[in-house]
Amino acid sequence: MRILSDFSEIKSALGTEIGVSDWIEVSQERINQFAEATCDEQWIHVDQERAKKELPGGTTIAHGLLSLALAPLFIRSVMGLKGLRNTLNYGADRIRYLAPVPAGSRLRGRVTVAEAEDVPPDGLRVNYHLVIEIEGGKRPACVAELIALHYR
């Protein structure tokens, strides 16, 4: 994990990769829990028997939003910022789902600081470029431009 001492260190990291997270398994249990929490129980996510028969990979696939929901975990696991009072999710500029995530896959996040701008009072708006990779995959599961507001 890379620990940054202050906002100036984030600004100096513009355009650089902060780090790559550890792998995390996207189990069928995790997919089912996400489906229940979001009321998105489409069969491609939760019906293993039907998926065996009807989906190209023969297995259920994770929700795209589940991959994206792991973004805070990926970012926090590769960087820390000293002296923060709080961080707020400010949104996203662009999100693309490039490859399905079969149940049982492992994902990791590759985090880059894309932009950073001072925000009064005493804050910093940071755009993070996140690439969510699938272990052994040819294409990323997701590519996203995420925005956070950090306050000290």
Q: Give per-residue pLDDT as tens, 43-61.
A: 999 999 999 999 999 999 9
Instruction: Tell me the residue type at 48.
Output: Q
Q: Give per-residue pLDDT as tens, 9-29.
A: 999 999 999 999 999 999 999
Band of residue 32 on the pLDDT scale cut at 50, 70, 90 = very high
Range of the domain at 21: 2-25+63-151
Mean per-residue pLDDT, 130-152: 97
The structural domain count of the chain equals: 1
Please report whether residue 17 resides in a domain.
yes
Please report whether residue 111 resides in a domain.
yes
Domain of 93, CATH number, reads 3.10.129.10
Please report whether residue 75 resides in a domain.
yes
